Amino acid sequence: MEKYTDVDLSGYREAEEMPEECPESEEALEEISERSENEKFTFINAVILGVVVLACAAYFISMTSSKRYGDEGNKFSVERLTNGKYTAEISKRYYSSIAYPEGIKNLAEKLRLFYGLTEEERETDLTPEETKPAEPVTVSETTGAQGGHQEKEVTTAADDDKKEDGEKTKASSTTAEKYSTYFYHTTTLPDDSDEDSEGEETTTTNNDKPNVSATTTEKQTERVTKAATDSSEQSGESSESGGEPVVSDSGAGGDSSSSSPDQQAAGQ
Amino acid sequence: MVYTELLFFLGVLPVSVLLSFLDRSAEYKNLILIITSAAFISWGKPMWCLLFFLTTVSEYLIGLGIGALRDKSRPAAGLLLFVDLAVNIAVFLLLAQSTLFSEGSIFRIKEAYIPIGAAWYTAKGFSYSFDVFTGRCKAEKNIFCLLTYMVSYHFIMAGPVARYGDIEPQLRRRAITGKKLSDGLDRFIIGLGKAVILAPCFGKIMTAGLEHNDMTLAGSWIGMLAFLAQCWFGFTGLCDMAKGLGLLNGFEYEDNYRDLSTGNMLGGFVRSANTSFIKLTEDFFRLFTRGNAFFGAVCSLIGCVCVALWYNVSKTYAAVGIALGTVLMIERLIPEEGKKRIPQLFKIVYVFLLGLLILGGLRFTTVNGYKEWLFSLFGSGNEYILTKALKQVLLENMFLVILSFCYVCVPVKKLISGLVRKIEQGSVQGLAVMRIGRTVLTACVLLMCVIELAAQRVA
C-alpha cells in the first residue's frame, strides 16, 4: 500500500537555472543602500540643525531672568495675561537680557563683511585714486564727446543748517543717513557763473541741483574718466573742474551703513 | 509675534514641537497647535483679539448649512456662500484694513490690538465654505478639526491658502517623522535666511537707487529691480518658513510659489507667486464663467483687482491690479497656439519690461513719483548715471546679489542643482560631502540670522 503520491518534478527540471546574481536584485540592493545612505544624512541633518536650534534657544532663555532688575519679576495674573501685559513683559525681558550686546553687534558687523566686497578692501582699491587731486576738466573734455566723471557728496539729514559762505557745513541729525553719490557724467560743462569756483571750498546745504550740467554725448561708453574726490578735497581745483558741492539731501532715506569714510569726514 | 522673531523660533516653536512628541495622537497634537497658535496670535496684545477665532463658529455653521443644502437647493447654498463671503470681507476690513476707517470711528482698531494674519485667516475661512459648496470636501462635523485648520500658526502668515480638502486627512492622522523634521528645519532656515538676510539687502539697494532726490539712470533700473527682489524674497521667505513650520508639525501641503517662468507670458509670471490664493480666486470666478472664454478673461481682470486689494486697499494697489488684470485679460484672449509661436527671447523681454513697469507702481504712492521714475528709467531728466551710494551698496552686498541671481534665474539654478545631483549620485563620498556641506551651510545661515536679529534688537 502506497502512502505517498508521486510529485511531478519535471517542470522544475526543465526550468531555467537561476543566475547567481540577477540585475534586478543588484538594482534593488543599490536602491536600498542609496536610500539608507540618504536617510543617514537626513538623520544627521535633523540632529545637527535641531541641536543648533535648541542650543541657541537654551542660550537665550538662560540669559533671561525674571528678576534681573531687582524688581518683583513678571507677576502672572489673569488680568495681566488678558490685557497682554504679561506676554509683552516676557518679550521685553527676553530681548533686554541678551548677553554681550556689543559683542553681538560687532559680530553682526563682521558677518556683513562676507556679503560682498568689504569697506577695507575697497578703500585700498580706491585710496590712490581718491587721494589724487581732482583732475581739472578741460574745455575739450567738457564740450567734447568724452564722458567725464564727478563725485558728488550728498548727506541726507533731517535738518539743514546754512552757514556762511566758505564755511564747511555740517548737517547732523540722529536719523541722518549719508549718501556719497558718485556720478558718471556723460559730458560736463564748466559753470562760469559758479561763484564758488574761486578757490573756496564749495559747500551748500540745500537740495539745489549741483552746479554742473550734463549733455548727451555722442559716444557715451567710449571713455569714462575717473576723478574721484572726497568732500575735503572739493576746494578751488575741484570747483574749477566742475566738482560738486556738498549737498544736504533732506528728503532721501537710506542706510547708514552705506556711508563711506569720506562721507563721515564730510559730516564732521 | 512674527516668524522672524527670536522669541518665536527659539522659544515658542521648539516648545510646540517638543510638546507634540509627547503623544502620538492627532487630537493631542491639534490641541498643542491651537494653544501655541493662540499665544502666537495674541502675543503682547489683549486676548480679546482671539475673538476672531469665533468666526470659526460661523464658518462651521455655514459649512454645515451649505453641506446640507448643496444637493437639495443650489441657490440656497449659494446664498449661504455669499453670506460667508460677506462675513469674511467684514472681518478682513475690520482687522486687516482698519486704517480705512477714520480716526474717531468705532471700527478703527488700534494697530497694537490687531491680531496677526487676519487677511490669511479670512481667505482660508472662505476657501473652506467654497470647497464645501463645490463638493471638494465635506462639511466638517468636528469643530475641533476646523479650529486647528483655521488658527494653526503655520497657516497664518503668507503660507499657502491650504484647502481644507487637502489638509483634512492630516488633521485626523499624521506623524512627525525624521524626514519631515529634517526637511522642515531646512525649509524654515532657508526662509529665515531669505527674510532676514536677502530681503533687507535688496531693501538697501532699493533705497540707494530710488530714494534719492536726483534720480539716476542706473538707480532707476537697479533700484526697482531690487524693490521687486525684496518683495520676492520677503514673500517667498515667509512661504518657506510657513511650509517648514508645517512640516515640523507633521503637515505636508503645496508650495505657495514656484520658479519664475516666462512660458505663459505675464500671466504665468504673476501666478508664480501666491499660487494658492490666485487659484482660489480663479476657482471662484469659474463658477460664473462656465467655460466662456471672454467672461473668463474679464474674470481674470476682476480677480487681479481682488488679489491686489486683498494685499492693500489703496488706490495704488487698485491701479496696479487693474493694469495687471488688463494685460492678463488680453493674454487670455490670445489663442494658445499663437502664444506658443512667440519666440522665447521676446517673451522674456516682454515679461521683464511689462512686469517692471506695472509692478513697479507698487513702490509709489503718487502718480508724480511714478512718472518721475518712469522718465528716469528711459534716461529723461537724468543728470547722472550712477550714484556712489548705489555703487557702494552693490559692492558691499555683491555676493548676496550673485547668490540671489543664481537662485532666481531658473537655468542657472537648474545647472547648479544638476551638478550637485551628479556629484551626489557619483559616489558615496560625493553624497556625503554634498549632504554634510549643505547641513553645515544651513546651520551657518541659522547662526547668521540669529546674530543679525539679536544685533538688531540690541542696537
Do residues B360 and B224 share a domain?
Answer: yes
Residues B128 and B213 both lie in one domain: no
Tens of pLDDT, residue by residue over B202-230, are 999 999 888 767 788 888 999 999 999 99
Domain total in chain B:
3
CB contact under 8 Å between A116 and B7, yes or no, is no
How close does chain B come to A176, measured CA to CA in Å?
14
Q: Which of B314, B412, B326 is nearest to B365 (CA)?
A: B314
Residues B138 and B82 in one domain: yes
pLDDT in tens, B341-378: 888 889 899 999 999 999 999 988 888 888 888 888 88
Residue that terminates a domain, selected from B174, B197, B223: B174
**Using the beta-carbon criterion (under 8 Å), do A254 and B207 form an inter-chain contact?**
yes
Q: Give the global pTM.
A: 0.75
pLDDT at residue number B210: 86
Looking at B154, B174, B194, the residue that finishes a domain is B174
Interface of B with A in 439-458 (CB under 8 A): 439-440, 442-443, 446-448, 450-452, 454-455, 457-458
Backbone angles phi, psi at B296, to 5 degrees: -60, -45
Q: Which residue of B has its CA nearest to A148?
A: B384
B216 and B293, same domain (yes or no): yes
Q: A114: distance to nearest CA of chain B, Å?
A: 8
ipTM: 0.87
Is the CB of B387 less than 8 angstroms away from the CB of A118? no
Give me the mean pLDDT over the A205-227 stretch.
39
The minimal CB distance from A48 to the residues B11, B431, B443 is found for: B443
- Shared domain for B94 and B170, answered yes or no, is yes
Please identify, among B174, B196, B227, the residue that sits at the C-terminal boundary of a domain. B174
Backbone φ and ψ for B108, nearest 5 degrees, come out as -80, 110
Q: Chain A 209-238, CB below 8 Å of chain B: which residues?
A: 209-210, 212-214
Q: What is the pLDDT of residue B189?
A: 95
- In angstroms, the separation between the Cα of residue B372 and the nearest Cα of chain A is 15
Flag whether residue B39 sits within 8 Å of chain A, measured between CB atoms.
yes
Is residue B385 within 8 A of residue A211, CB to CB? The reply is no
Q: Could you give the 3-state DSSP secondary structure of residue B101?
A: coil
Percent of chain A with pLDDT over 70: 33
Q: What b/e string do you get for A38-64 counting C-beta neighbours within 10 Å, with b at 16 or more?
A: eeebbeebbebbbebbeebbeebeeeb
pLDDT class of A20 with cuts at 50, 70, 90 = low
Which candidate in B384, B397, B404, B420 is best for mutational testing of the A interface (most A CBs within 10 A)?
B384
Query: What is the domain range of residue B276?
Result: 181-377
Does residue B58 sit within a domain?
yes
Across A103-112, A114-123, B58-67, least confident range: A114-123
Q: Say yes or no: B198 and B97 in one domain.
A: no
Cell of B447: 547662526
Q: Does A180 touch chain B (CB under 8 A)?
A: yes
- Residue A183 pLDDT greater than 70, yes or no: no
Residue A119 has pLDDT above 70, yes or no: no
Contacts of A72 (CB under 8 A, 6+ apart): none
> 22-51 in A: which are within 8 Å (CB) of B?
37-39, 41-46, 48-50
- Strand, helix or coil for residue A182: strand
| Domain co-membership, B232 together with B353 | yes
Rounded distance between C-alpha atoms, residue A197 and residue A110, angstroms: 42
Give the Å distances, CA to CA, from B346 to B342, B412, B413. 7, 20, 21
* Cβ neighbour number for residue B53 with a 10 Å cutoff: 18
Contact B257, B272 (CB under 8 A): yes
Question: What's the grid cell of residue A1?
Answer: 500500500
Q: Is residue B268 part of a domain?
A: yes
Nearest CB neighbour to B46, from listed A83, A119, A258: A83
Residue in A84, A107, A254 closest to B451 by CB:
A107
Q: Residues A21, A24, A27, A32: what is their CA dihedral angle, to the nearest 10 degrees?
A: -100
Residues B223 and B341 in one domain: yes
B389 vs A: CB within 8 A? yes
Kind of pairing between the strands at A247-248 and A213-214: unpaired
